[in-house]
Amino acid sequence: MTKAMYPEKYQYAVANEKDNLCPGGSVIVSPLCKIIEDPLFDKAGALVAELDLEDIKRSKLDFDVIGHYSRNDIFEFKVYNQPETIKE
């Protein structure tokens, strides 16, 4: 995303910014957190990779989102120093 891509009426909002507002950084990462294709910065392009769909099954051995992590009776995730939510 460059400043030139902004509509004329919003050019004032990016007047003091560098020309390349968003250099990209698309990347392909496997379900096992391995980088398959490195990030693509500062150019247009397409990342293409062959995927091993068996990695999806293997990754669920590490993090089962519908298993014990979703059981509030045995697992609690808490972030300290955050505003309390109101429970109804």
70 token code pair:
């979703």
* Extents of the domains making up the chain: 3-70
7 dihedral zone (left: phi>0; alpha: psi -120 to 50; beta): beta
* DSSP secondary structure letter of residue 28: E
Q: Hey, what amino acid is at 79?
A: V
Its pTM surpasses 0.75:
no
pLDDT classification of 65: cutoffs 50, 70, 90? low
pLDDT in tens, 16-59: 998 888 888 999 999 888 999 999 998 888 999 999 999 988 88
